[in-house]
A and B are shown apart, each in its own frame.
Chain A
Amino acid sequence: MNNETIKKITSQRLFLPIFCLILVLLVNVITTPNFFSISIRDGVLYGYIIDIINRASELVILAIGMTLVVSASAGTDISVGAIMAVSAAVCCNILSGGERAVTEYASPLIVGFLAAIIVGVLIGCFNGFLVAKLNIQPMVATLIMFTAGRGIAQLITDGQITYVRVDSYRLLGASFDGIPIPTPFIVAVVMVAFTALLLSKTALGMYIQSVGINKKASSFIGIKSIFIIFLTYAYCGFCSGLSGLIASSRIYSADANNIGLNMELDAILAVAIGGNSLAGGKFSIAGSVIGAYTIQALTTTLYAMHVSSDQVPVYKAIVVVIIVALQSPGFARWRKSLAKKKSMNITQKEAA
């Protein structure tokens, strides 16, 4: 392989994110030899890799919504974790009919699901209204829901954990009979495919990028900037509602304090690690999805290395700083000046 092909590969947009993911996985091969072994237990695939793919599903779905929000509005939606808690609370409360623990549905499953998704979209619309119409900085606007969200969820569940102990409620977070692939992964794949199709088959993807690069200019050429930004927040709310359902289905309950806790941070990290600029504009859904899996791989790796859950954040922070620093403009500048010095040295030597 000559230098040029290497350069071509390394200059690819997704090179760094993929490189980081592979690096994290490589560490596993050395430290945990059975990391890549997959077996079938109770008709479901089982293994560390499957665990990563399964557990990352909520994060992947959130990262999709977050990518669009970041791209269009150059800001982050920090309320996604709180929206997850609210949608889970709404769903469980409707299914349980207000009881704290039930073994039978009080209303049809679909009603609960739909209500949860609608609540997610509504909160997204509220955020979108503040950001797009009232021109409030995204982080401040979503800070409102971030602060209030868990309070509202507590209010809905009366401050207690609501259990829905029905087998069919657990399907979304576990797996269907006869299908060895975990359902959350299927949902995540469907969401990624749906979003990718939506963005590539319509002009929506281009509009979002255009608004993110220059809102005013986009308005002048006839794009409804305000509506596009509003739409991304509503979509982000939809994604959050959906992941709230999955998270709730995993534990067949609504825990207002813990569902989606710190998920907004992981989702923003996924977007950043995926090589997307948090300053808006161009985006890559694939990058964010890779970023999401990288974060989950990192977490699972640390657990596999017997790091306690309290201490995981330290290593996560160090790895994240390294990954982000490698992609930062500051590092690029430093590398450039280094290359310049090198070439200058060579010319000096030649001259001598």
Chain B
Amino acid sequence: MKNKKQLNQTTFLLMITIVLFFVMYGIGCILFNAQGFSKTQNFLNLFISNAGLIVIGIGMTVVMITGGIDISVGSFVAMGCMMLAWMMEKGNIGAVPAVLIVLVTGIVFGLVQGFLVAYMDIQPFIVTLAGMFFARGMTAIISKDMISITNETFMAWAKLRIYLPFGGYYNKKGVLIQPYIYPTVVIAIVLLIAAFIMLKYTKFGRSIYAIGGNEQSALMLGLNVRRVKLKAYVLDGFLCGVGSILFCLNTLGGFVEQAKGFEMDAIASSVIGGTLLTGGVGNVIGTLFGVLIKATIEAFITFQGTLSSWWTRITIAALLCFFIVLQSILSMMKTKKQ
């Protein structure tokens, strides 16, 4: 019975996030109907422009459920993009090996951070802070100038449109326009579903929740806390690798200042989606909606046209404030009941 109540609270927060997203999107549809806000393609664009953030948000959520945090993701994305660009343009390496190398780099990066956190007992914040400096600096060492990608295979991937069989409409000339997505969106959604199943139904996923909930009891129950933590960071590193590739497919280039503040977007998305920084509570579906809310705010500002870009930050902060206060009030009510 008690368990059920707790579940209800988590689902309640998730419900609020989802409802808020649809309300915001609905308002957008009403306000900017003339500019085409309500078109299917516009909705899909939210996914297209944020596929990388969704994948990285999954990794962030997993790490946050263990009670840790990873603030190196933004810098890693910059490094990943720069590596891809450099390898394909300057290093004469094909698109497939380049992508594989970035994935391996992500795993190694996660392995090192995970080792320092789990086996050396250094606070995750400090470890990933160092990781953040390292990755950003490495980006500058690889190349200080921006590199644009012209590799044919990579460009073919980036331009490959997958047309959806529904939601098409006829334009003024009477030509049928089908809504489309890119493969990046498919990858992001597949990973999201995989992560959802993994967290909910596998032993590893449940161990992650157990450790985040109470490390001491998890240890007493016979869980290998250190190894699970290490694995969580390795998974996070892998997802960062994937995320940076998806990001690169969108931006088609690498430069030093790329994806600055990306880590805070990922953390904010997770928190808005109901993940607690203390660990033990969280859901990747919530993270998806956190990302979509951020994307909707950005779409608002683009469609509105006259607002400056810093309004995005202020609005996200206000939303963040709203959700955090709501979470805290809910948990306070719970403790009072008990």
Residues of A in contact with B (beta carbons under 8 Å apart): 76, 130, 134-137, 139-141, 143-148, 150-152, 154-155, 159, 265, 268-269, 272, 278-279, 308, 310-318, 320-321, 324-325, 328-331
Residue in A closest to B144 when the chains form the complex, CB atoms: A310
Whether A317 lies near B133 (C-beta < 8 A) is: yes
**Which of B122, B133, B271, B329 is the one whose CB lies under 8 Å from A140?**
B271
Q: List 24 A-B contacts (CB under 8 A).
A: A76-B125, A136-B328, A139-B69, A143-B264, A145-B317, A147-B317, A148-B313, A148-B314, A148-B318, A150-B313, A154-B310, A265-B129, A272-B126, A310-B144, A310-B256, A311-B137, A313-B134, A314-B134, A317-B130, A321-B130, A325-B122, A328-B120, A330-B121, A331-B120
Q: A136-B328, A315-B137 are known contacts; what are 4 more A-B pairs with Cβ within 8 Å?
A: A310-B144, A313-B133, A320-B126, A329-B121
- Which A residues touch B277, using CB under 8 A? 137, 139-140
Whether A314 lies near B314 (C-beta < 8 A) is: no
Tell me the complex Cα distance, A143–B277, Å. Answer: 11
Whether B140 lies near A269 (C-beta < 8 A) is: no
Q: How large is the interface on B (under 10, 10 to 19, 20 to 34, 35 or more residues)?
A: 35 or more
Tell me the complex Cα distance, A310–B36, Å. Answer: 42
- Which A residues touch B130, using CB under 8 A? 317-318, 320-321, 324
Interfacial residues of chain B within 291-331, with CB under 8 A of chain A in the complex: 308, 310-314, 316-318, 320-321, 324-325, 327-329, 331
B119 at the interface (CB under 8 A from A): yes
Q: Shortest distance in angstroms between A234's beta carbon and chain B's nearest beta carbon? A: 18
B332 at the interface (CB under 8 A from A): yes
Q: Shortest distance in angstroms between A71's beta carbon and chain B's nearest beta carbon? A: 14
Whether B120 lies near A317 (C-beta < 8 A) is: no
- Which A residues touch B324, using CB under 8 A? 130, 134, 136, 140-141, 144
Tell me the complex Cα distance, A137–B325, Å. Answer: 11
Tell me the complex Cα distance, A313–B76, Å. Answer: 13
Whether B310 lies near A150 (C-beta < 8 A) is: yes
Whether A268 lies near B317 (C-beta < 8 A) is: no
Whether A318 lies near B122 (C-beta < 8 A) is: no
The 4 A-B residue pairs whose C-beta atoms are closest, nearest first, are: A314-B137, A310-B140, A148-B317, A330-B120
- Which A residues touch B239, using CB under 8 A? none
B217 at the interface (CB under 8 A from A): no
Whether B317 lies near A330 (C-beta < 8 A) is: no
- Which B residues touch A152, using CB under 8 A? 314
Whether A147 lies near B121 (C-beta < 8 A) is: no
Tell me the complex Cα distance, A247–B264, Å. Answer: 24
Whether B137 lies near A317 (C-beta < 8 A) is: yes
B123 at the interface (CB under 8 A from A): yes
Residue in A closest to B139 when the chains form the complex, CB atoms: A310
Interfacial residues of chain B within 104-138, with CB under 8 A of chain A in the complex: 116, 119-123, 125-127, 129-134, 136-138
- Which B residues touch A321, using CB under 8 A? 116, 127, 130
